Structure 1
Amino acid sequence: MRVTNILPTHPLPEALGPMLVAVLEITWLLAAWPLWRDGTRDAADLLVDVLRLTQPSDPIMDLKGETVFRPRPFYYVLEGITNERIRRGLIADSIPERLIATRTYVAVADNDRFPPRARTFLQENYLPVGRLRVVGRLLTAPAQDGTHSFPFEVQIPARYAIVAESGSVVGWLDGTPYEGARFLAPAPHEFRSASGQGRFALVWAQAVERGFSPFPLRSGSP
């Protein structure tokens, strides 16, 4: 019985092996990271909000300088090594004090890389507007007593505005008619609404003036 040799009688070119490997690697890379997927979109959208909301001299509390060209109130970048040193007490979590001292009115969104003490302070004294947070808070009435009273405390002195989820804001701030944004010092304050039920928020005035709001339907960012 005659057996036919189907193998090539001439050796394959030496470059063919590396070429096949390269083709396979390129195919795998395209499958894992398609060229048509914009991996920079989130970062670009963040910078759009930074430019709309702040001046170059305005500090922003971010994790490691991702807001670009804005001063940071805290020297250390917040990554694994820094957070471990904070946990061990080798670096003081002085972020709340630095936010107050530098009058930092803007911070990035909530993230578990913020140390616990700083994260709590940010959650209690900043609220989301678009892709960033600004000083302020949602106002909640302590009881349904019909007085529409909203006590709150300011930690960071700034010009603040009160905004409503719907309709205009009518009422009294610290006993005087509310007629627009005003400077509030660190202290307890009270807003009394004359417009009935609804949700209200205390917001850094510059954010409101530039079209941002903590209420989604009025958000300054698409």
Structure 2
Amino acid sequence: MDMLVVISSEAPKKRKIYHKMGCIYAERIKFQNRLEIKVEQAEKEGYCECKYCAGLRGDVRTHKAQILSWTHKKEMEFKFDDHTETLYIKTKIGFWKIYLKDDIDKYLLYHRNTFDANTDYQELIRGEFHRQKDVKQTDSLVKLVEYIDAHDKAKVVIQDDYHNLPRRTKKQKKYYKQAERKVKREAVKRMDTLFAMLERQNPSLKNVSIYERSSVC
């Protein structure tokens, strides 16, 4: 992990604790004693994680101001489930969940398979989710929220016209190709649905070739 944490160079052996950036206890460390080091280094030196800012619950605590900003600027709703220690994020067009995988100490991002903005929160939580595989395991809550925001903005563009998606970076080009393939698959499905409807109305069309069918439409 490359995450930076805060320690006190004057901490006694029995109180060697490291804190995440933004932790209220990190702010209490005197400037001359405050050090910022990688979490791996802190653990090697015998520092233990702060109970207040540890884990996803701690990230939610230390990012209170930022979450409030995201709520207004990005029009997101955040809900932390104390029982499952899972963070749920609702946007205009999607529903997401983030949880900390203990054995790797990193966050995983999941996206709900279906979404209706009018669905009750409890029902949304109980729905089926899929792992967002193009998102790497990370220790950064900020990166995941930024991904969700970019993903949903791109989805809105796709619903209008995927050709308007940016294609400057390698990742953007890859996403554009994915959107293009998806639109083509959906077009084929719509065509199949249309043919099925026509065949129910006129069974003789089942014997018409694909080229002849095109002229029917």
TM range (shorter): under 0.3
The structure that has the greater radius of gyration is: 1
Point out the structure with the larger helix share.
2
Q: Which has the higher contact order (CA 8 A, sep 6+)?
A: 1
